[in-house]
Structure 1
């Protein structure tokens, strides 16, 4: 087992082994079926925050989070972020508590990762709060589009526009399928970026990240679909914002390693 794989296994064993998760999810489900959606959502959001905090504590990492200017309320939209590896998921799930808005309603769009790590449908709420599932292997775009628009009536949806785990700190080109749906139906984007998760790997090129033990998670800004006359401009702006912020964070990481 490689170093990165070990940390992934450790990460996803936390919700399985720590008693607070099965108890919390059972209580959340009871609240859900009895109509107490707000209480159910708050429990799930707290469990996500506890998951991220536990993993970072166990691995000796710290988080620099900058969400200034982000308003998680208002119109439902897509939240997008780069996708290094599966270790980012607890951080994303904890977003409501990171922004100190415990009632934020999020859903998660993903394919194989949801099927592989069964805790995610519970946390990002396949059964409990109607997460959207999209499988690259068996796509059904008609049902997929319907599900996306239905979920957006009540919550925002988090997704990775690169469409895959990159296993590199480089941001790859965005896939167009989901983003075309966003543009066609005038869905706004909130853009985020993470940096440093490859520090959990044993690759020499990321040794400085391993030594710094610091993860960055920053809000880049928002994009209003109505401001862009073409889909290509809409997509390019999202990529530019994410990559520009990533360069800033990489400069911080480099200066920290030199110091």
Structure 2
């Protein structure tokens, strides 16, 4: 088992081994069944917060979360972020509580990672959009689009537009499928970027991230489909916003370990 795989196992062992999670999720389901959605959602948001704070404590790292002028209680939209490895998923689940807004309704869009780590659907009461896995032989894009638009009626959806885990700190080109849905149906985008996740690996090129022991999660800005005359310009604007913020953070990471 490599170093990165070890930390992934450790991360996902927390909600399995800590008694707070089965107890909390049980009460959360009871509240949801009885119509107390607000309290159910608050429990889930707290569990997400506890999950990632515990993981950072165990691994000796800190989270630098910069909310900027992001309004977590805005209209239902897509929240997009770059994707390096599986440890970012619980960070996304914890996002509502990190923003100090306990009542944010957030769903998660993903494919194999949802099927592999069952705790994610449990945390969100199965209000999950399972993304089309484009490598599959028979993807059902029509049902996928219907599910996305249905969920957007009640909550926002977090997704990774790169379409896959990169296992590098580089931001790869966005896949167009989900983004075309956003553009066609005028879904606003809130753009985030995460940096430092490969500090959990043993690759020499990321040794400076291991020394800094900080994971950065920053809001980059918002993109509105109505402001762009073509899909291509809309997609390019979202990519540029994310990549520019990533460059800023990388400069901070390198300066933090410079003697």
After TM superposition, the score normalised by the length of structure 2 is 0.97
Unaligned stretches of 5+ in structure 2?
Answer: none
Paired residues, number = 256
Q: Which position in structure 2 is the counterpart of 1:40? A: 40
Q: What is the alpha-carbon distance in structure 1 between the residues aligned to residue 72 and residue 229 of structure 2?
A: 25
Q: What is the alpha-carbon distance in structure 1 between the residues aligned to residue 243 and residue 198 of structure 2?
A: 17
Please say if residues 112 and 135 of structure 1, whose CA atoms lie closer than 8 Å, have aligned partners that are also in contact. Answer: no
* Residues 212-251 of structure 1 aligned to structure 2 (within 5 Å): 212-251=212-251
Please say if residues 132 and 141 of structure 2, whose CA atoms lie closer than 8 Å, have aligned partners that are also in contact. Answer: no
Q: CA RMSD in A?
A: 0.8
CA deviation profile, 1:156-208 (whole Å, cap 9, x unmatched): 00000000000000000000000000100000000000000000000000001
Q: Which position in structure 2 is the counterpart of 1:167? A: 167
Please say if residues 132 and 144 of structure 2, whose CA atoms lie closer than 8 Å, have aligned partners that are also in contact. Answer: no
The match for 2:128 among 111, 131, 138 is 131
Q: What is the alpha-carbon distance in structure 1 between the residues aligned to residue 124 and residue 111 of structure 2?
A: 13
Please say if residues 193 and 242 of structure 1, whose CA atoms lie closer than 8 Å, have aligned partners that are also in contact. Answer: yes
CA deviation profile, 1:1-39 (whole Å, cap 9, x unmatched): 000000000000000000000111111011111111111
1:244 partner SS: helix
1:245 partner SS: helix
Unaligned stretches of 5+ in structure 1?
Answer: none
Q: What is the alpha-carbon distance in structure 2 between the residues aligned to residue 233 and residue 135 of structure 1?
A: 24
Q: Which position in structure 2 is the counterpart of 1:156? A: 156
Please say if residues 191 and 242 of structure 2, whose CA atoms lie closer than 8 Å, have aligned partners that are also in contact. Answer: yes
